Amino acid sequence: MPLADHLRELRNRLAKAMLAIVVITIVAAFFYNDIINFLTKPVLDSVGCGETFEQLAKSKSSSHPCAQITINGLLAPFTLALQVSLMAGVVFASPIWLYQLWAFVAPGLHKHEKKYAYAFVGTGVPLFFGGAFFAYKVLPTTAKVLIDFTPHGVSNLLPLDDLLQLVTRMVIVFGLSFELPLLLIMLNLTGVLSGKRMLGWWRAMILGITVFAAVATPSTDPLSMLALAGPIWVLYFGAVVFSIFNDKRKRRREEMGPADDEASDLDLTPEDIGEVETVSASRALPEQATTDRVNGYDDVT
């Protein structure tokens, strides 16, 4: 299409995506309390005080650190409601705006590129949600370890917006960490990284994944660290095995030549004129290879 048509289509796709986000954000605004309770419940069950400061002062449990959830400012509740509703709108409207993005990009892709795109989306979404699930399960242990650093006799005030940012950050970090194998596979499919090279990095990758798991889960329990590192190890070696087989398949495909929807490589190397004439004469048809005339005319006439 002409450039103006592309821009017009892009405008329509963006308008539909934004409309979906706005509609779902408005719907989520009526349930933002339930969304906040769902996100903060693991942390509150783990380190929440659940009592007033006066009750804590008289209670024996005051020796154990806990956090009192607070909201600071008159406009803070309204701003927090808008942030949570918008976040829910972007997340729950993701199938719609991802489809609009795909519908804009897909017409310019080859068949095999569309196949890879379907595979990436179909694999990347479950991997991200798997990482987010692990983060949601690790949050209570992480909160306990962090709250233990509170000095004795000091009350810990935890703003609700900071708590939501912590939960969101953990979910995003864990979800993206589970996308590491998919990134390696993409680099392999584009020819940037070979499976043999990835296999040679296995010692460094195991060490790096273990260190990341230890930092992301600041718990003294090794099971929490292995709960994050173990799945990423398995996914990494799965990406290595896929890349090795893909390299072998790519070599076989190159030997067979280009696909039906791909252009063959052209040899644009300049040749000498004399060599071109010699090649042309050698490629001529048998009846055109001689200069004898037939009935007074040459074969061209």
* Band of residue 25 on the pLDDT scale cut at 50, 70, 90: very high
Contact predicate 179/79, CB 8 Å: no
Answering whether pTM is above 0.75, one says: no
> Which amino acid makes up residue 290?
T
Q: What pLDDT score was predicted for residue 283? A: 54
Mean pLDDT, rounded, for 274-300: 54
Q: How far apart are CA 53 and CA 124, in angstroms?
A: 45
Q: What pLDDT score was predicted for residue 26? A: 93
Q: What is the gyration radius of the CA atoms in the chain, in angstroms?
A: 31
Three-class SS of residue 271?
A: coil
Dihedral, 231, 237, 238, 240 alpha carbons, nearest 10: 150
Mean pLDDT, rounded, for 95-117: 77
Q: What pLDDT score was predicted for residue 32? A: 86
Contact predicate 142/225, CB 8 Å: no
Q: How many CB atoms are closer than 10 A to CB 248?
A: 10
Q: What pLDDT score was predicted for residue 57? A: 45
Report the percentage of the chain scoring pLDDT > 90: 3
Mean pLDDT, rounded, for 190-205: 82
Contacts from 111-115 at CB under 8 Å and sequence distance 24+? 111/259, 111/261, 112/259
Q: What pLDDT score was predicted for residue 53? A: 41
pLDDT greater at residue 113 or residue 27: 27
Q: What pLDDT score was predicted for residue 299? A: 57
Task: Let me know the angle formed at the C-alpha of 143 by 139 and 148, rounded to the nearest 5 degrees.
Answer: 155
Mean pLDDT, rounded, for 174-196: 81
